[in-house]
């Protein structure tokens, strides 16, 4: 029997998006867009306040996948994501996911997982399909 049956929930990860995290991400990435860093500027936009970088949000999803699948995720995991809304600075978010199916094709075994980053209102603001390669013989 598979260790990862369809419907198996992945561990939930919760994080608060602090301005410090956004500032550090801006320094690391070189993306100094004032929408992320300047509250006065962001207040005049459609968002009304600073938002986190999209790639920072994806990094949280990748963290959840790495915690769930370790080296298998790190050695070939893939992610197709859709941004559905902003992740606000100061907001607490959570990453939820579940295994949707297991595929064996051409001597390769892959899991497909549906993953979402939810804001503090419980809305999915980033959704993704993650794929994880696994050895053919690994069972639970």
User: Per the domain annotation, does 79 fall within a domain?
Assistant: yes
Biggest CA pair distance of the chain: 55
**pLDDT tens readout for residues 89-134:** 999 999 999 999 998 888 888 999 999 999 999 999 999 999 999 9
Please report which confidence band the pLDDT of residue 140 belongs to, taking 50, 70 and 90 as the band edges: very low
Q: Phi and psi dihedrals of 87, rounded to 5?
A: -110, 110
In which residue are the tokens 């999803």 written? Answer: 61
For residue 111, what are the domain limits? 13-134
Q: What is the CATH number of the domain that holds 30?
A: 3.10.129.10
User: Per the domain annotation, does 121 fall within a domain?
Assistant: yes
User: Per the domain annotation, does 7 fall within a domain?
Assistant: no
User: Per the domain annotation, does 140 fall within a domain?
Assistant: no
User: Per the domain annotation, does 62 fall within a domain?
Assistant: yes
Residue among 105, 100, 129, 128 at smallest CA distance from 2: 100
User: Per the domain annotation, does 111 fall within a domain?
Assistant: yes
pLDDT of residue 2: 66
At a CB cut-off of 8 Å and minimum separation 6, what does 5 contact? 99, 102
Domains: count for the chain: 1
User: Per the domain annotation, does 1 fall within a domain?
Assistant: no
CA separation, residue 50 to residues 41, 53, 71 (Å): 8, 10, 34
pTM of the model: 0.88
User: Per the domain annotation, does 120 fall within a domain?
Assistant: yes
């Amino acid at each position: 029997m598979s260790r990862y049956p369809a419907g198996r929930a992945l561990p939930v990860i919760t994080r608060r998006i602090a301005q410090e995290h956004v500032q550090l991400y801006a320094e690391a990435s070189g993306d100094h867009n004032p929408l992320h860093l300047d509250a006065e500027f962001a207040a005049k936009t459609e968002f009304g306040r600073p938002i986190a970088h999209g790639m920072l949000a994806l990094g949280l999803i990748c963290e959840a996948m790495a915690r769930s699948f370790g080296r298998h995720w790190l050695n070939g995991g893939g992610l197709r994501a859709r941004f559905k809304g902003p992740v606000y600075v100061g907001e607490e978010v959570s990453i939820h996911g579940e295994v949707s199916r297991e595929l064996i094709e051409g001597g390769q075994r892959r899991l497909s997982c549906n993953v979402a980053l939810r804001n503090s209102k419980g809305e999915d603001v980033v959704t993704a399909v993650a794929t994880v390669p696994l050895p053919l013989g690994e069972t639970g």
